[in-house]
Amino acid sequence: MIRKTVYRVAALVFLPLLVAASCGDDRRYDDGDDCEIGVPGEGAACECSGLDCVCPSSGDCEINCIEGCNLQCAGSGSCDFLCIAGCNTECTGSGNCFVDVGDDSTVSCTGSGDCDVTCAGDCAVACPGSATCTVRCAAGAICTIDKCSGTVESCPDGVQVCNGSCS
């Protein structure tokens, strides 16, 4: 789990460089074009910018947000989102949500799937659902859990857990 978190933080740092180098990439989502949704951990992922980056209703997916995204995981599959900054992410489905966001981002976990959120900058996470919501906050960042339906437990290394315990 620590290795995955390290990779995600590294991706937040290096993604802008990769985006600049891949402007001609045909997997990028623009103006309603279809893009190929990648399977988490298996490489190619859909890249999108702007509004309405939505995972399909079934199956797992991975989306890398380039800028200003409203990401939504509303289906039955698990979603893996990466967004540099200023993101609005909603996990309303039954699948698990793995979210890496940067500064000035919000995440809402209202579905029945677990949420695992890594914040590289200041972020706010709402967890009114019944599932476990884990928030990992980078050093120096301010991360808040709002509307936890149960109790929030503070763990070592900037981790907070709603509806669960430190492990």
- Domain spans in the chain, listed from the N-terminal domain onward: 2-12+39-162
- Residue 94 CB partners (closer than 8 Å, separation 6+): 75, 76, 111, 112, 113
- The model carries a pTM of 0.73
pLDDT in tens, 138-151: 999 999 998 998 89
Q: What percent of the chain clears pLDDT 90, i.e. is strictly above it?
A: 41
| Structural contact between residues 28 and 44, judged by C-beta atoms closer than 8 angstroms | no
